[in-house]
A and B are shown apart, each in its own frame.
Chain A
Amino acid sequence: MERCKRMVDLGRRRFLQGGAIAAAGAAAAATLPREAKAQAAMARVEYPSNRLANVADLKVNEPLEVAYPDKDAPGVLIKLGRQVEGGAGPEGDIVGFTTVCPHKGFPLAYNPDDRTLNCPGHYSRFDCEAGGLEIWGQATQNLPQYTLRVDDNGDVFAEGLDELLYGRLSNVL
């Protein structure tokens, strides 16, 4: 329980750090001419195609920490070792999720025993083997999952999300 509390505090600090770094970046961007940012509005946000890992980096049931669609959006890749709906890769068993709880933004912790992501803030639980289905919890969304593509080299790319990420009103900032 002590550990649990520390994890919450740790999560908060991580968030603040992330925010501070992002704020510095934004301050720099603000000095650029505004026109540089102008572009035609699209119906959906444009997701980057980001290489997150190679399948060789992934060990069954050991989450790999990643970030998508940018460094302020932490997540994980998990090789489940069995094919699941929505799974990528040769075995159809690789999934990726945000690790920011869509309820109040606390960092989720992976429980390898039952392959769930768990929130120490308000106890929400998401099933990594069922598309991030909220097993129990206060979030009004199931867990945002990555759209993954694995190329011939085994590189794993994230190319989209299926729900809104916590803490941003556009998945791509």
Chain B
Amino acid sequence: MAYKRQIDRLPIIPADAKVHNVVCHYCIVGCGYHAYSWDVNRQGGTAPDQNIFGVDLSLQQPAQTAAWYSPSMYNIVKQDGRDVHMVIKPDPDCVVNSGLGSIRGARMAEMSYSRARSTQLRRLTDPLVWRYGQLQPTSWNDALDLVARVTARVIADKGEDALFVSAYDHGGAGGGYENTWGTGKLYFGAMKVKNIRIHNRPAYNSEVHGTRDMGVGELNNCYEDAELADTIMVVGANPLETQTNYFLNHWVTNLRGTSLDKKNEQLPGEAHDRARIVIVDPRRTPTVAVCEAEAGPENVLHLKIRSGTDLALFNALFTEIADRGWVDQAFIEASTATQAGSQSQADVAHPAILTTFAAARQGNRTSLEEAAGITGLSPDDIRKAARWIAEPKQGGERRRTMFAYEKGLIWGNDNYRTNGALVNVALATGNVGRPGGGVVRLGGHQEGYSRPAADFIGRPAPYVDRLLIEGQGGVHHIWGCDHYKTTLNADVFKAAYKVRTDKVKDAMTRVAYGDRQTMVDAIVAAINDGGLFAVDVDIVPAKIGEACHVILPAATSGEMNLTSMNGERRMRLTERYMDPPGQAMPDCLIAARIANHMQRVFNEMGKKDLAANFNGFDWHTEEDAFMDGYHQHEKGGEYVTYARLRAMGTNGFQEPAVAIEGGPAVVGSSRGETTTGAQHGMIIQGPAIEGARGKEPVQQQGPNAAAAQVPTTGAERIIGTKRLYADGKFNTPDGRARFMHAAWRGLEAPGKQEEKDKYAFLINNGRTNHIWQSAYLDVGNELVMDRWPYPFIEMHPEDMKKVGVKEGDLVEVYNDAGSTQAMVYPTPTARPGETFMQFANPMGVQGNVVDPGTNELIIPNYKQTWADIRKLADAPGSVHHLTFKSQQYRAG
């Protein structure tokens, strides 16, 4: 039977409950919630004056009511050391989600640490060290001393390049401006660590270098643009499942035609209709099914492209649109490059030429027939897509098209050029910085990047995983990353990592733990013998933590105050509404305490110069880190304080901040709507350009940085920026966007074409609706584990017959890179030979079968994976109760 909670009533929130602002800490959409808490010995009542809603709860409440919460939205947690009831419920007044909660976010309360209700007891509560042959709890000072002594010794002996770091760069849980600043100041300020990688890729690089190099930051529009667009083109994304409430609350409105009033009001004088949508995806996703149900199949064009051939499609669209004269000539002349780029510009770090419209048109010229041959699409469908994207509307007005993309493009073939080829189409049609437009990534986590410049890393950045496999590095600090689940070439990585970290474990086991000097000497000797000392900072035991020697427990969103921005750059503060488990601390403070200990140890070693680098970590709270980092260093940060964010609730403001309402007009600061410069229309010069990426606010540079005098007290409204580039000025030295000369070059990453030729099945992969990210919290949730005890692999029934498997059977997926397992999910809409496997699941790591090939900039190519499949076992008992019916909605 399906899992049921057997809960038949819940405590009622009393009228005087405490209310905190919450932003969902999972995906980039950042839905607004409120956390209500009250003493555990009290409860509200059904009478209107007895509950927070002011309504009669003895009555059935209607659909979409704000006066209801599900059992997953309820828990008992500690607040200031005392048990309290807590309800975390979507906020109907948040413009992002309008009261919608997804199956992931609406479980935030249930996914909180509660000893009273035994939820998420997996959370780390104490620092752990490898002692007497196992991980044992210890004090912060003991753990940090060991970390600092080993790290300082290795740096002193081998230099900072021997310190390897894996660290998230995002917002939300396991991220946020406070924590990226904490880790950033430690590794890029106090030290200059270049062997560093990000949580989901093996190097410290951008997932979207292409669009940034063209001067177009990737989060350039606002969610309302999805309601205003005539056409939405979505590439390699499945927003119903992965940006759920953005899709439900803003896309569906337009697909249904219910945003017509808004279109007529905001964009008068042009023809409006419900949106049409072009979906580029080799797979029929749940998103496709819902688009057809809402907009009608006649308004949905699903381009079931051959995996990895998007670039050829975009170039054909670009060619067709230009040949038809459907370009925005005035925009091209005013806002894009006037001088063609040269061949010499293209190098390993810049794997395409940035150039003019004319030169890109020439260089990328691809006929519909050529593209059809490469992509497997029909020329007519490509022609139709071009028409939907760019044909002028009735009355001759420019068609407003919003372009959205995510991991199908980002983790796909030839990332840099494919990204550029899509942005080419958006620029040519004048769809950046204007209502109903934008060329945006949809995003994974929220964003929350605030770090000192890291130019010294270089480009391409070091391929950190490969270096670790090869035996480089002596110490590895890991922050909220789990390579064991979320990297490529994972089988090989895990094998090498285990050998190296076991050397250190064995050395540690052989000496008395209490003899610190002998312990450090033993560890260093093991490192010199090819070992690796690993420190893992996380909220739960990570798979990679099994290999680590020190584990440091972190607090997550809501256990600390945390700021992030969502996919339309909307910045909010999640207030601390509960205590972190045990001794867990915010990452920014863990980073500060590591810095303090490093300073002490370097001083003891007599290395005063090195010790001095660790000044400036005297933070006591996360707010200290925020004021030191975001407030002082980020563009517009001078306007942003916790007090103002708190007052702005779950709607916050859209970055960058440009002023405070009613506040003093600051000399040198913009009051305009959209600019990336310090003054309206001004273009930022120099190194700041690298930082002006749409996703990450521009860092103030030079003496002007200190000039802004904005009061830090008060709760005035912050004025933000609805769309980037509305002034037609882009993030390039001359303010003109670049087109990209991006010719098709086949499967670009080494080994991919050979793998395709050798193996029978495409192992496409990605997320699924029930599960957030790598299931790091979901593995402790009955609802989710009951539904998905194993990662599924969607297979066409004919393929199942060939392999000889039934629904629910476990299969092995294997190729030269490695092997993994999955549970068969019959999927008649799948194309024969093309499977889709859930990504990053601990019960079957898809990354095991992803080969190490990347593009020039070390962007992995997870999506183009081919392998063979064979049966492992009949469906195990834990899947007997499951359903294998279609996950796709059909209008009844």
Contacts and interface: CB of A to CB of B under 8 A. Distances in A.
Interface in A83-140: 85-86, 100, 102, 104-106, 109, 111, 114, 116, 118, 120-123, 125, 127, 129-140
B885 interface: yes
A49 interface: no
B63 A106 contact: yes
Nearest to B298: A1
Given A19-B59, A116-B885, A123 B1 contact: no
B876 interface: no
Interface in A132-173: 132-145, 161-164, 166-173
- Among B63, B72, B248, the one with the most A-chain Cβ atoms within 10 Å of its Cβ is B63
B282 interface: no
A23 interface: yes
A7 B1 CA distance: 30
Contacts, number: 186
A100 B89 CA distance: 19
A106 B100 CA distance: 13
Contacts of B766: none
B891 A163 contact: no
A72 B58 contact: no
B885 A125 contact: yes
Nearest to A144: B4
Contacts of A45: 8-9
Contacts of A133: 2, 787, 881-883
Given A141-B70, A142-B3, A170 B8 contact: yes
A173 B64 CA distance: 19
A142 B60 contact: no
Given A125-B889, A163-B7, A104 B64 contact: yes
B266 interface: no
Interface string B278-296: 0000000010001001111
A131 B70 contact: no
B784 to A, nearest CB: 10
B548 to A, nearest CB: 33
A123 B885 contact: no
Contacts of A137: 103, 769
Contacts of B56: 23, 26
A152 B650 CA distance: 57
A140 B106 CA distance: 7
Nearest to B13: A169
B68 A166 contact: yes
B514 to A, nearest CB: 48
Interface string B62-80: 1111001111110000000
A113 B65 CA distance: 31
Contacts of A169: 9-10, 12, 57, 68-69
A145 B62 CA distance: 20
Contacts of A164: 5, 7-10, 70-71
Interface in B851-887: 881-883, 885-887
B8 A161 contact: yes
Nearest to B58: A173
Contact of B62 (A16, A116, A135, A144): A16
Nearest to A173: B58
A135 B286 CA distance: 12
A19 B60 contact: yes
Given A44-B8, A122-B248, A170-B8, A114 B885 contact: yes
B240 interface: yes
A141 B5 contact: yes
A1 to B, nearest CB: 5
Nearest to A17: B62
B881 A140 contact: no
B102 A138 contact: yes
A172 B787 CA distance: 28
B57 A135 contact: no
B606 interface: no
A113 B739 CA distance: 51
B756 interface: no
Contact of A23 (B6, B59, B887): B59
Given A1-B293, A7-B892, A111-B892, A105 B887 contact: no
A135 B59 contact: no
A168 B68 contact: yes
B748 to A, nearest CB: 34
B90 to A, nearest CB: 10
B613 interface: no
A133 B100 CA distance: 21
A4 interface: yes
B256 interface: yes
A164 B62 CA distance: 15
A60 interface: no
Nearest to A145: B4
A7 B294 CA distance: 13
Nearest to A8: B63
A4 B832 CA distance: 31
B15 interface: no
B799 to A, nearest CB: 21
B212 interface: no
Contacts of B888: 136
A72 B881 contact: no
A143 B100 CA distance: 18
A81 interface: no
B518 interface: no
Nearest to B880: A85
Interface in B773-830: 783, 787
A73 B60 contact: yes
A122 to B, nearest CB: 6
Contact of B70 (A125, A140, A161): A140
Contacts of B240: 123
A85 B3 CA distance: 12
Contact of B60 (A18, A136, A138, A163): A18
A12 B787 contact: no
A93 to B, nearest CB: 15
Interface string A1-17: 10111010001100110
A118 B244 contact: no
Contact of B2 (A4, A132, A167): A132
B883 A120 contact: no
A136 B70 contact: no
Given A12-B63, A114-B886, A141 B9 contact: no
A125 B10 CA distance: 25
B881 A131 contact: yes
Contacts of B103: 134, 137-140
Contacts of A18: 60, 62
B297 to A, nearest CB: 9
B887 A125 contact: yes
Contact of B1 (A104, A131, A171): A131
A138 B889 CA distance: 12
Contact of A130 (B73, B102, B881): B881
B783 A167 contact: no
Given A3-B891, A166-B68, A142 B4 contact: yes
Nearest to B240: A123
B134 interface: no
B59 A26 contact: yes
A159 to B, nearest CB: 12
Contacts of A114: 885-886
14 contacts: A1-B294, A1-B295, A105-B61, A138-B101, A140-B70, A140-B103, A141-B783, A142-B783, A163-B71, A164-B10, A169-B57, A170-B9, A170-B10, A173-B58
Q: What 10 pairs across the A-B complex have the smallest Cβ distances?
A: A105-B63, A133-B2, A140-B72, A123-B889, A131-B2, A170-B9, A72-B60, A136-B887, A127-B883, A162-B4
Given A139-B103, A164-B5, 16 more contacts: A1-B293, A15-B63, A19-B59, A22-B60, A44-B8, A104-B64, A127-B885, A130-B883, A138-B100, A139-B70, A140-B70, A141-B783, A164-B9, A170-B9, A170-B10, A171-B8
Interface of B: 1-10, 12, 56-65, 68-73, 100-103, 106-107, 110, 240, 244, 248, 256, 286, 290, 293-296, 769, 783, 787, 881-883, 885-892
